[in-house]
Amino acid sequence: MLTLKFKWLAAIAFLLLAGFTAQAQGVSFGLRGGFDLQNINGKDYGILENSLVPRFNAGLVLEIPVAPDFFFQPGLLYSTKGAKTDKLFGLENLAINYTLGYIELPLSFLYKPVLGNGRFFLGFGPYLGYGITGKAKYKLNSISYNEDIDFTSEYNGSLQLNKFKPFDFGANVFFGYELAGGLSFQINTQLGLVEINAENTSNSTEASFKNAGFGISLGYRL
């Protein structure tokens, strides 16, 4: 756990240092934030029937030229994800709303040709995420209560609905337009490729939860 946290701190320090030296290196530095509709897909005892929930992301990005009209764009974001669901346990109805907060490192490749007074861009690439905070809000019939998300790879014992793996990995695809002044907007989609549900070592169920979402973002390149 400490090693992973150190790696994220090192990544933050690297990106901040790169931002301060951007002018000397020919690299541009920018801000980005957006609104997403997120879900958790997969299977539990059957196909998950979760609903989309509104979430957000915000952070910093760098843009490094690698060839004419082609760029490498690493970033460092705080990104929230999750889903909501209703479960029936006999005569009991349980509604759950998950919010998972990640430090996220997208590593994107851009094709960015000039179009009109600005640039069209198309981007894709992987992302790495590490869960740092979260809440599970429950409503059992008419009784409501909250529980913190416990980020852990595995646990032993009875079923616990607040257990999630801290590591997330997936793919980003997006496109948009950047105005001449540096303001940009984009439409993006994200597909998680690894399971985020913690494994219950005392239960042999083949559950598989993965993040997925799409949304819009605004950016400003300094």
**Model pLDDT for residues 12-46, shown as the tens digit of each residue:** 555 555 554 544 467 888 999 999 999 999 887 65
pLDDT number for residue 14: 56
* CATH 3.30.420.40 corresponds to the domain 2-221: no
- How large is the C-alpha radius of gyration of the chain? 19
Query: What is the DSSP secondary structure assignment for residue 154, as one 8-state letter?
Result: E
Q: Average per-residue pLDDT in the chain?
A: 87
* Domain residue ranges of the chain, discontinuous segments joined by +: 2-221
Whether 135 shows a pLDDT value over 50: the answer reads yes
Q: Over the range 32-59, which residues count as b (16 or more CB within 10 Å of their CB) and which as e?
A: bebebebbbbbebeeebebeebebebeb
pTM (two decimals): 0.86
**More reliable by pLDDT, 23 or 163:** 163
Q: Are 212 and 190 in contact (CB under 8 A)?
A: yes
Beta-sheet pairing, 163-164 with 150-151: parallel
